[in-house]
Amino acid sequence: MAISLRRFAQGDEHALVSLLNNAQVQRFLSPKIPYPYTEADATWWVREGAQSEHIYAIEHDHELIGCISATVGQFEYAKSAEVGYWLGQPYWRQGFASEALQQLLNKLAHGTDLLRLHAVVFAGNNGSQALLARSGFVLEGRLRQAIVKQGQRVDGLIYGLLLDDIR
């Protein structure tokens, strides 16, 4: 099950459009990821959106299968980052997300001065909640009705991890 994390590159657009035009993949993603997802969206993502320091394509057998990122905060949150990830549906429940998260945690724990990570998960996203718990994240709180997607109000569950715990 070897996966690797790499930068997004020209040529990833078709896979992005294919993977992200799936209602099941989109179900628990932030509304900032358009749906339907167009070729223009993918071109923007590869050229501009994915240029932040800790945004990675997840690759398996030389194919793009998803994305994982850590968005560093600002000001008093400059030593914290929010983790996010998604996989294309054909790659679910095969350990790929777990391996990608472990690789990201290793990069951040040993290659940055970040102190803390957190992830906000849609209530009801049981797979993501289990993945975070297995990876050492702790449920820290519930933001009641904090997420609004397609007119629906959903609680956000905050999971946190101190990087000193894995260094």
| Phi, psi of 25, rounded to the nearest 5 degrees | -70, -45
Distance in angstroms (rounded) separating the CA atoms of residues 87 and 15: 11
From the first residue on, what is the mean pLDDT of each consecutive set of 10 residues in the chain (167 residues)? 94 98 96 96 98 96 97 98 98 97 98 98 97 98 96 97 95
Please give the pLDDT value at position 1.
63
Give the CATH number for residue 97.
Answer: 3.40.630.30
Q: pTM for the full model?
A: 0.96
- Domain containing 113 equals 3-165
Total domains in the fold of the chain = 1
